[in-house]
């Protein structure tokens, strides 16, 4: 799938069921997320992240952070409590539109749209923290995933930190993803996305992975250093995931 098609898929998800597309709990599908409960999940998650930062002693400063694949700003708004400014970036204009509306009261929050396979809109050595969770795994092109990881390293400051999550392995059975393939096929034939999602239970969400040794090789090429590596989080059955804490 091209990045253009990837963007189209997430524009459709943002229109159909944005909260579930971000936090895909089965009992919350079809608009069943309550806004307060949805944002509360981000609160718990970022509290855990900030404890890890304190334990590591990185980043050395807490001025500017980037939330890559921010969606509607579930994590971005929480990071604003710990950093002077938090910037959320996403491929979906509809997600960013909602992020702007939902986070109007957070003065040190900013949101950007980026639909390129790179982050050239952002300068080198600019961020104290770059954070990405449950985002890279939804990009179907491994080359694009690698490109974004390289960009994370480029844009963090020396003694800054990049935290990103990505599956290390997905079982062959789980790689088939029939719901996504049927959705994309029927959409290409002009079938309405609301019908495919609401009536047939189909969706365009992709699951991808890159083995840990390949990520470590890429980071070595980028002259980055892994400070911490965690297994998890739970991405579903037969999915083995990793969380990388990286500096330069």
pLDDT digits (tens, 9 = 90+) for 75-100: 999 999 999 999 999 999 999 999 99
In the chain, % of residues over pLDDT 70: 98
Q: Are 214 and 136 in contact (CB under 8 A)?
A: no
pLDDT digits (tens, 9 = 90+) for 11-47: 999 999 999 999 999 899 999 999 999 999 999 999 9
pLDDT bin (cut points 50, 70, 90) of residue 233 is confident
Query: Sheet containing 109-113: which strands, arranged edge to edge?
Result: 109-113, 85-90, 64-68, 127-132, 156-170, 239-247, 225-231
Nearest CA-CA partner of 134 in 67, 193, 197 = 67
Q: pTM for this one? A: 0.96
Domains and CATH numbers, the chain: 24-170+206-247 (3.40.50.150)
Question: What integer pLDDT is reported at residue 211 of this predicted model?
Answer: 97
């Amino acid at each position: 799938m091209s990045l253009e098609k990837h963007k189209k898929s997430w524009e459709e998800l943002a229109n159909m069921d944005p909260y579930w597309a971000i936090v895909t709990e089965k009992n919350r599908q079809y608009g069943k997320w309550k806004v307060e409960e949805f944002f509360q999940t981000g609160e718990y998650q970022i509290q855990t992240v900030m404890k890890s930062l304190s334990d590591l002693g990185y980043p050395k400063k807490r001025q500017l952070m980037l939330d890559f694949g921010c969606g509607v700003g579930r994590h971005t708004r929480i990071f604003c409590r710990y950093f002077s400014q938090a910037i959320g970036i996403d491929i979906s204009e509809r997600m960013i539109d909602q992020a702007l509306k939902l986070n109007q009261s957070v003065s040190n929050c900013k949101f950007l749209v980026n639909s390129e396979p790179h982050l050239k809109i952002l300068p080198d050595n600019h961020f104290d923290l770059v954070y990405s969770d449950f985002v890279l795994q939804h990009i179907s092109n491994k080359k694009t995933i690698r490109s974004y990881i390289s960009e994370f390293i480029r844009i963090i400051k020396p003694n800054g930190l990049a935290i990103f999550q990505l599956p290390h392995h997905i079982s062959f059975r789980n790689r088939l993803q029939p719901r996504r393939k049927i959705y994309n096929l029927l959409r290409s034939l002009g079938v309405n996305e609301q019908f495919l999602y609401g009536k047939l239970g189909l969706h365009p969400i992709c699951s991808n992975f890159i083995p840990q040794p390949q990520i470590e090789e890429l980071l070595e090429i980028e002259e980055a250093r892994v400070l911490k590596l965690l297994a998890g989080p739970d991405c579903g059955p037969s999915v083995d995931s990793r969380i990388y804490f990286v500096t330069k």
